[in-house]
Amino acid sequence: MVPKPVFTGAATALITPMKGDGSVDYAAFGRLIDWQIAEGISALVIAGTTGEGATLTDAEHCEVLRFAAERAAGRVAMVAGTGSNDTAHAVWLSKEACTMGYDALLTVTPYYNKATQGGLIKTFTTIADAVTKPLILYNVPSRTGVNIAPATYAALADHPNIAGIKEAGGDFSHIAETRALTGDRLSVYSGNDDQVVPLLALGGCGVISVLSNVLPAKTQQMCDLFFAGKVKESAALQCELLPLIHALFCEVNPIPVKAAMAALGYGENVLRLPLTPIEPAHQEKLFALMRAQGLAV
């Protein structure tokens, strides 16, 4: 069986820094990886939604994954974003990532063409059967139009290459039912920064976070406090960070966090279409909240 969980605590869904011409800024990317690790983050997720994996070419996607794994050099758990709405493409990309030293693969539910629950079982089983690393299944129905049912999680939980789930549906009844059906067979991670502590209270293992791009140490601290039994302190930190979390999602992710990270010196405020830079009024509020957390922007 696959060791579970892949990581405990906070993993950063890392941006992919870009230059003014839209190409990947590898110098900034390397500095960002080093800083995240120095700040004590538990894991890094590369080329996921926040990393604009959907608009990287196949060659870029593989190079971004390869660069990040080599830069991290085993210092922290690494998760590769390898999902696709084309199962065959997800299999290919997942197999490529397995050759690069990743600890796990983050595979989103098929979007646009979607799938039945039976199709989800077949899709995730097909990917898991083809790879040598464990999968973390990514459920984000607001983006994909499909929701993984608790019974579907239960049907997948005993696969030796399916280790966990990133839940971004926001439905705690759904999460509680999933936990009841799967127990410790699947590690559950929050996919929503405003719901970390409540999910940990249901037996979750941590968060795959956008916030931790900006505040890796504090996001990790939120998890560490909870696991140390300091639940009130963890909850207080969750509440303290809510205004900044909301600002980071005032427009579709990763628009706000890309502006935030550019202001911190990690690449330019450049996104690939159809995403466009943050509106000035939203940016002003975001930067004010970052300054309130002691960040120099």
Q: Which of 102, 133, 138, 189 is catalytic?
A: 138
Question: How far apart are alpha carbons 203 and 84 in whole angstroms?
Answer: 28
Which among 249, 255, 294, 262 is positioned nearest to 276, based on CA atoms? 255
Phi-psi region of 101 (alpha: psi -120 to 50; beta: other; left: phi over 0): left
Q: Note whether 159 and 1 are within 8 A (CB).
A: no
Q: What does the chain come to in residues? A: 297
Q: What is the DSSP letter of 268?
A: B
Question: CB within 8 A of 266, min separation 6: which ones?
Answer: 15, 17, 25, 28, 29, 31, 32
Q: Note whether 85 and 70 are within 8 A (CB).
A: no
Phi-psi region of 76 (alpha: psi -120 to 50; beta: other; left: phi over 0): beta
Q: Note whether 208 and 187 are within 8 A (CB).
A: no
Q: Which amino acid is at 208?
A: I
Task: Decide: helix, strand or coil at residue 67.
Answer: helix
Q: Note whether 174 and 153 are within 8 A (CB).
A: no
Is 166 an annotated catalytic residue?
yes
Q: Which amino acid is at 292?
A: A
Q: Which of 133, 153, 166, 189 is catalytic?
A: 166
Q: Note whether 15 and 258 are within 8 A (CB).
A: yes
Is 114 an annotated catalytic residue?
no
Task: Decide: helix, strand or coil at residue 211.
Answer: helix
How many Cβ atoms sit within 10 Å of the Cβ of residue 200? 24
Question: How far apart are alpha carbons 182 and 118 in whole angstroms?
Answer: 18
Catalytic residues: 138, 166
